[in-house]
Structure 1
Amino acid sequence: MKHVSILPLYDATLTSIDSSYQLFSRVNDFMKYQGKPPFYKIEVTGLTKSTKFSNGLYKISTQMTVNQIKKTDVIVLPLLCGNFKKAIQENKKYTDWLIAQYHSGAEIVCLCVGSFYLASTGLLNNKKCAVHWAAKNEFKEMFPNVKIIDDSIITDERGIYTCGGGYSYLNLLLYIFEKHLGREISVLASKMFEIDIERKSQNPYAIFIGQKKHGDELVLKAQELIENNPTETLTVDSICEKFNVGRRTFERRFKKHTGNSILEYIQRVKVEFAKKYLETGRKTVNEIIYETGYNDIDAFRKIFKRITDLSPIDYRKKYSV
């Protein structure tokens, strides 16, 4: 039997704590129906016997305190909300225990932006971490030693599991069940809770937000030029000529500060422009593509699918309002 400790972190969402507790508990029910013993012992494990959430709106009773848990097998870090820096500070009292448990063999299952706290412990240094697309820039600034993964929903590295995207933690829990008990139990949980087990990528949901907290004025001007002219046929050469800079040097400079090449930045801005029209407009897909400044329709369709994992037509079907 694996012991599961769900930590009611400061600024955690009550939903992610309860969902984790319910899913692990239901897996035990599945085992019971199959005539097998329960696989998990699940306990909400806090610093004290009760924890308040949402400015005192909710209170949760913990079953154990960390001081009482000498050895655990799985630690669940719930999704956080609000001010990440404050949450990190308030949750520091868990850190020594968390690190000690990990080095004693415990797996860490980190839900979405609970990764801000996990990264603050140093356990994610030089490891991959799935980060919600909206939090990517802030996370990168705070934790430059972590390898950000912003397209995949789940990462799995040396006993630490992370996920990006609010309720993608449900997919992460299915992944954990498959690791521990096999595909059959994971599929059963997917069916019972109606969770899309095949959801693997954040790309269809992401909104492009350029990294601008770098302080390089010339790169900022280039970003603004691209963002303010999504219908123009901009090229890398034309941008470099406008700012009177050498292409090779400026491309390295741009990539260093934004995480994208100049060409990638142009493409992402144009895709974002097209997405808005696909969501709300009535123009044909080809008309929208032409408005982005592309004459080669097939080329833009390929770029669009590479960035979003969907064709323009499928994107319109999914998100049109």
Structure 2
Amino acid sequence: MLFSSVLSVFALAVTSVSAHGYVSELKANGKTYKGPVAGGAKIQSPIRQISTTSPWKDVNGPGMTCGRGSQNAALVAPVTAGSTVELKWVDHPGTNWQHNMGPLITYMAKVPAGQTADKFNAAQGNFFKIAQAGQTGKSWVQASLMKGSSHSVTIPKELENGDYIMRHEIIALHLANNKGGAEFYTSCIQLRVTGGVSKMSVSPTAKFPGGYSASDPGIFTPKIFDGGFKYSFPGPAMPKFSSSGAASVKTSNNSSSTNANVQSNTNSGSVKSKCRRAISGWTSRMEKRFIGAPAAAPAAQ
């Protein structure tokens, strides 16, 4: 009885006080770029600004491209093919990311010749995956962001030189046991790749919106709290780059990427055990956020 009551309170808290976030920092080629605060002042950055940190839920809506109300950024960050970039997510300035269930997926789209990334309409981009991170061991990779960790992504060394849009997203699945419950947090970064190859093509690709369906197994996850649940990443399969610069396709979208090197199986265990841990973590964070520290201004929904 007590457990059921606590679960009810927890469910109410999740739906009424949802966490949000944006990419606050990019590290590339030894340089650190600050990301613009959602809905805040414009700054010189290669990270496209979003209008609010509220989650996007419509897989067919414009927020799937680069986030809610995104605007082109002023800078294009140089990055070397084969190098690693780091992206830091926060809930709001000074507060770590708040979710811990769901994948981090990174795409890139080549900007056509004659255009630059700071002017390119990302909705026209043909995006291919370069990394996808699900779970490792008994926890989701996303959970590391709650500790203030950055997420690292390797730029494929086989990329053609030129401008690209990197589309980096978190899909929060804590409510995705109901259709339409998945929350999309998407950020676009404007990059200029050097040190790559002179010519290449990549497939498969996808456009956003259009790359996902609300019923995709990796977006609607009714059994996510069941022991032995196996996660399937949504979207096109991960390309496998060859030394010639062409790209072939991996046959499965269930395995971890070579970039992320993580497992896609969820940890086993009872639903009650998982819920108790989630309740404990949520309660602790909410106490710190709303009792022990000044509350941030609420984001528009």
Which structure's CA Rg is the greater one? 1
Question: Higher strand fraction: Structure 1 or Structure 2?
Answer: 2
TM-score over 0.5 (shorter chain): no
Which structure carries more helix by proportion?
1
Q: Shorter-chain TM-score: what band?
A: under 0.3
